[in-house]
């Protein structure tokens, strides 16, 4: 018989845009449930990813990158990230080890929580030589009494298991918050919408991703086990609609194919995905739409 008591807790993942927070969550869970792209501000809402085993349940909270927000939607994103800093058991403050240091941000963000803070240096695969990484760890360590300073590569997975071990070691005793067989508290529909949105982020250029939202209109399991999903890609202008559809529908087809593959992997079944594109002017500034999309 085990004499260890069950442990559980909430662990928020925060940091600047594009440092690899969502990549880390997907890596920890071993499944892709949140959107990742090489463009900043990919994540728009807080999303919980749940890691359960016999002795513990860790509820990781992925958050939008903290930045100087101007638009209404971006302000809501940053508010959501700050909202995830309090009332938690542990904070993972992620920095890009290959980017210039951002000491004020690190110091101020770490000071905002009452919880212990792990400083996570991500993208160490891009830091050469090793001495540089050690120097950086030493310099950053002096900014806050961090409970741990952990270098990782979310992309390759290097040291991520070790990070999870350290997180587990910090959890208080407690009961599981969620059933042990779910990866996220988001409905499947919402995860699927995110995976479609990710493809728009990845496959289209500069302006379009930021003008895009995705809503799953229907999600039905057919008798043959195939899941039929219909989703609408919202954009702000006609020109953007043209880009998303592409020449003879080529772009929409690529988006659909890539999204379907991810969704099939996640759901473990064949998927029939139908995509529509709709212009909704200035939706990123409209409260009602932002609410409906869960961004505000």
Which residues are near Mg ion by CB under 5 A? 21-22, 42-43
**Cβ-based neighbours of 25, under 8 Å, separated by 6 or more:** 13, 33, 34, 47, 49, 60, 62
Cα Rg of the chain, angstroms: 20
CB of 41 vs ligand GTP, minimal distance in Å? 5
CB of 48 vs ligand GTP, minimal distance in Å? 14
Beta carbons of 95 and 102 less than 8 angstroms apart: yes
Residue 212 binds: one of Mg ion, ligand GTP, none (C-beta under 5 to 8 A by kind):
none
Beta carbons of 165 and 37 less than 8 angstroms apart: no
Residue number of the CB closest to ligand GTP reads 65
A 10 A CB-CB count for 7 gives 19
Residue 154 binds: one of Mg ion, ligand GTP, none (C-beta under 5 to 8 A by kind):
ligand GTP
CB of 62 vs Mg ion, minimal distance in Å? 6
CB of 42 vs Mg ion, minimal distance in Å? 5
Closest Cα to residue 228, out of 215, 217, 241? 217
Please tell me whether residue 93 binds ligand GTP under the rule CB under 6 A.
no
The helix/strand/coil state of 236 is coil
DSSP β-ladder status, 56-62 and 7-15: parallel
DSSP β-ladder status, 7-15 and 227-235: unpaired
Among 8, 11, 28, 37, binds ligand GTP (CB under 6 A): 37
2-10, 36-44, 100-108, 234-242 -> range binding ligand GTP (CB under 6 A): 36-44
Among 32, 48, 123, 197, binds ligand GTP (CB under 6 A): 123
Beta carbons of 263 and 195 less than 8 angstroms apart: yes
**How far is 188 from 232, CA to CA, in rounded Å?**
16
Residue 126 binds: one of Mg ion, ligand GTP, none (C-beta under 5 to 8 A by kind):
ligand GTP
**How far is 98 from 18, CA to CA, in rounded Å?**
12
Q: Which is nearer to ligand GTP, 40 or 294 (CB)?
A: 40
Q: In 142-187, which residue ranges form alpha helices assigned H by DSSP?
A: 160-170
Please tell me whether residue 46 binds ligand GTP under the rule CB under 6 A.
no
For residue 119, CA distances in Å to 130, 166, 167, 287 come to 18, 12, 12, 35
CB of 68 vs ligand GTP, minimal distance in Å? 13
Q: Which is nearer to ligand GTP, 8 or 12 (CB)?
A: 12
Please tell me whether residue 122 binds ligand GTP under the rule CB under 6 A.
yes
**How far is 21 from 36, CA to CA, in rounded Å?**
9
Q: Which is nearer to ligand GTP, 94 or 143 (CB)?
A: 94
Q: What is the DSSP letter of 226?
A: P
CB of 22 vs Mg ion, minimal distance in Å? 3
Please report, as residue ranges, which positions from 142 to 181 form the binding site for ligand GTP (by CB under 6 A): 153-155
Please tell me whether residue 282 binds ligand GTP under the rule CB under 6 A.
no
Contact residues for ligand GTP, defined by CB under 6 A? 15, 17-23, 36-38, 40-43, 64-65, 122-123, 125-126, 153-155
């Amino acid at each position: 018989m085990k004499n260890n008591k069950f442990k559980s807790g909430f662990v928020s993942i925060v940091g600047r845009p594009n440092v690899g927070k969502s990549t880390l969550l997907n890596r920890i869970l071993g499944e892709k449930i949140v959107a990742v792209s090489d463009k900043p501000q990919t994540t728009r809402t807080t999303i919980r990813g749940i890691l359960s085993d016999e002795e513990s349940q860790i509820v990781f909270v992925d958050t939008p990158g903290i930045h100087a927000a101007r638009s209404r939607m971006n302000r809501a994103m940053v508010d959501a990230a700050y909202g995830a800093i309090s009332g938690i058991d542990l904070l993972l403050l992620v920095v890009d080890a290959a980017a210039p240091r951002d000491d004020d941000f690190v110091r101020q963000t770490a000071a905002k929580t009452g919880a212990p803070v792990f400083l996570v240096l991500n993208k160490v695969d891009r830091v050469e030589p090793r001495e540089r990484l050690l120097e950086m760890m030493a310099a950053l360590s002096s900014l806050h009494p961090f409970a741990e300073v952990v270098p990782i590569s979310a992309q390759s997975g290097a040291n991520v298991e070790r990070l999870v071990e350290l997180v587990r070691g910090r959890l208080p005793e407690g009961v599981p918050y969620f059933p042990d067989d779910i990866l996220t508290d988001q409905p499947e529909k919402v995860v699927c919408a995110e995976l479609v949105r990710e493809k728009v982020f990845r496959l289209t250029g500069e302006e379009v991703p930021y003008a895009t939202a995705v809503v799953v209109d229907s999600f039905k399991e057919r008798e043959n086990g195939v899941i039929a999903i219909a989703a609408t890609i919202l954009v702000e202008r006609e020109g953007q609609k043209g880009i998303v559809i592409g020449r003879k529908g080529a772009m929409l087809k690529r988006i659909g194919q890539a999204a379907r593959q991810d969704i099939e992997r996640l759901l473990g079944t064949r998927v029939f995905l139908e995509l529509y594109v709709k212009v909704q002017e200035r939706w990123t500034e409209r409260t009602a739409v932002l609410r409906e999309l869960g961004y505000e």
